[in-house]
Structure 1
Amino acid sequence: MEPVSLGQIAALIAALGFLALVYFSIRPLNKLSGALDRLAESLKELTEHTLPAIDEAAKTVAGANDQVQRLDQITAAAARTTEDISAMTTLVTSTVGAPFVALRKGAAKVKTTFSRSEDKEN
């Protein structure tokens, strides 16, 4: 048997050290693996619950947009109605009011004429 050299002893010690490092690293690596598995499961559950909420929010926003468009139509119709009422008021005032103004002017002229004739008689 050949004598064991100092280099071989050093290599054997290094190999045993590496073996101990691997042995003691297995447990923390297993714990890390478990934590990563739980994290992946949590992300999966979060995604399963979040996607329907996002879909519902998108539907809500679309519904709100429809309501705003309807409100715009109602506002435009109200503005048109206001313009129509204003035009109708102007038309009625000019149609009905003009004869009353003419009648009033005529009545004032008649009154003035009778006033003058009474003043002349006195």
Structure 2
Amino acid sequence: MTHLTLRPVRTVMLAAVLGSCLTFSAASMAQVSVNIAIGVPPPAPMYEAIPAPRPGYVWMPGYWDWDDHYHKHAWKKGRWERERPGYVYESPRWIQSRDGWVLVPGRWDQGGSKGKGNGKGNKGKDYHCPPGHAKKGEC
């Protein structure tokens, strides 16, 4: 008789374990990013005048994104975004891989005091001034 009463308990425990595995699996899949390589290199960056500094904000320069609908690069204009204390913004950039060109998305890196910069877009030693901006004293 004890053999029959343990079977439902085992079934419930097995179902609970399988359910938690599926939950962990779904959570880990949600953190996966997909990079798609394309065969077309991005055009040269477009010049954008950096507006006057805004206290508490970081300038995110424009960049070329890939438009899947039209199968071509599309310019995304620069914009201001609220700063994140202790973080440094890293602009999106295209890298060439063996399979083609891949866009590395922009992101916030922990940088401590690196993010203070000079108020003209320079956000630390890893910051790259967009083409044409340094000549105009904007970086």
Judging by fraction of residues, say which structure has more strand. Answer: 2
Judging by fraction of residues, say which structure has more helix. Answer: 1
TM-score using structure 2 length: 0.28
Greater Rg by CA: 1
Higher relative contact order (CA 8 A, sep 6+): 2
